[in-house]
Amino acid sequence: MLSRHGGELSQVASRLGVDAAQLLDASASLVPWSPQLRFGLLRSGLRHYPDREHRRLRLLLAHLHGVDPSELLPGNGAAELFTWAARDAAGSGVSLCLAPGFADYRRALRCWGAAPVSFPLELWSAAEFPQSFPLPVELGADVLWICNPHNPTGQLWSRASLQSLLSRYRLVICDEAFLSLVPDGERQSLIPLVGSHPNLVVIRSLTKLYGIAGLRLGYAVAQPERLERWAAWRDPWPVNGLASSAAEQLLKTPDRYQRWCFRAQHWVRAEGAWMQQQLARLPGISPMPSAANFLLIHGAQSLVPLREALETRHLILLRDCRSFEGLGENWLRIGLQSRRGNRRIIRALRKELKAAPLC
């Protein structure tokens, strides 16, 4: 069965008969380190039911982004929030999604019996970021789904070019799950526009930034009336107390958050440039320019055998891109790792491409 998402370590480890710790997972795009959390504070989230309003967490997030706490809604990862965004979208008309694009938007729309219209994205673009968003031709859509930086290409869109879209659609849903990892990426965020645009929803993830995907933490930024409606639809405690306590530790001061973001962005800048150079030297594959912590690569032939070889012979997981509409067997996505991990990936690719050239 084709994976619809990266990071499926337990399934791969079971299939290969190895311990998951032996795998280098470049199929998911997370920072390669995780924060130290104080267990005593985490334990406080185990005994009692979580605060259903998540008051403290919303206050911390509001302070970081300069918005009112009523404009924030924590979620069980961005995926849960996409589900409620899709319910609003299904009731607002036809959705438009870029292709290729993150498959979870379509998954969420299917929950409510909706199917999006696809707009093909020009894959090869200039290396300078940010870029102007490619204005879709008139396709009769009412809702626009955006990912900034775009997943899986890593293209970064300018705020100015996105702002012009807000008058064209009844609802704009902007996924900024990776934006906090992009050097100077916050300059392109649409969060400052939420207060003046009731048709705008911005969805963020904390799991990519902090390398804590197992905790499932995300949040939506939108006007209060919309978020109150979402809160009435969902289960009573979608964010568990452990995840909420961890988030409160991580976000307790703006300075601590900014230091973490600076570290992550420095890593993206350094390792992204290094990996681009190394991949460009390999025969038969070409990396796309990317502002994010992942690189999309194209092969002269099918890259499925190459991905399988890295998995079985080198215990390295790369992202199969066939689940992205508009991509096929000739594409893979590589999540940036530490320099040591990135060297391991390059060595394995060089060995396999030498044994079985693609060109």
Count other Cβ atoms within 10 Å, centred on residue 281. 9
Query: 41 in a domain, yes or no?
Result: no
93 and 188, same structural domain? yes
Query: 42 in a domain, yes or no?
Result: no
273 and 247, same structural domain? no
Q: What is d(CA 28, CA 23) in angstroms, rounded to the nearest whole number? A: 12
179 and 125, same structural domain? yes
260 and 219, same structural domain? no
21 and 152, same structural domain? no
The residue among 212, 237, 252 that closes a domain is 252
The residue among 209, 235, 252 that closes a domain is 252
Q: Which residues, including other chains, have CB under 8 Å from residue 330's CB and lie 6 or more apart?
A: 298, 299, 300, 301, 302, 303
- State the Rg of the chain over Cα: 20
In the block, residue with structure tokens 């999540």: 335
Q: Is the distance from CB of 252 to CB of 279 less than 8 angstroms?
A: no
Tally of domains in the chain: 2
Domain of 270: which CATH number? 3.90.1150.10
What is the 3-class SS of 61-75, one letter each residue? HHHHHCCCHHHEEEE
Strand pairing partners for 120?
A: 99
Query: 188 in a domain, yes or no?
Result: yes
Query: 3 in a domain, yes or no?
Result: no
286 and 194, same structural domain? no
Domain that holds residue 342: 9-30+256-355
pTM above 0.85, yes or no: yes
269 and 199, same structural domain? no
Count other Cβ atoms within 10 Å, centred on residue 183. 18
pLDDT at 294: 97
211 and 261, same structural domain? no
Per-residue pLDDT of the chain (359 residues; tens, 9 = 90+): 445 566 677 788 788 888 888 899 999 999 999 887 766 556 665 667 788 889 999 999 999 999 999 999 999 999 999 999 999 999 999 999 999 999 999 999 999 999 899 999 888 766 789 999 987 766 789 999 999 999 999 999 999 999 999 999 999 999 999 999 999 999 999 999 999 999 999 999 999 999 988 889 999 999 999 999 999 999 888 998 888 888 998 998 899 999 999 999 999 999 999 999 999 999 999 999 999 999 999 998 999 999 999 999 999 999 999 989 889 999 999 999 999 999 999 999 999 999 877 76
pLDDT at 6: 63
Nearest alpha carbon to residue 163 among 145, 130, 144, 190: 190
273 and 248, same structural domain? no
68 and 196, same structural domain? yes
314 and 273, same structural domain? yes
218 and 149, same structural domain? yes
pLDDT at 125: 67
Domain of 94: which CATH number? 3.40.640.10
The residue among 209, 226, 252 that closes a domain is 252
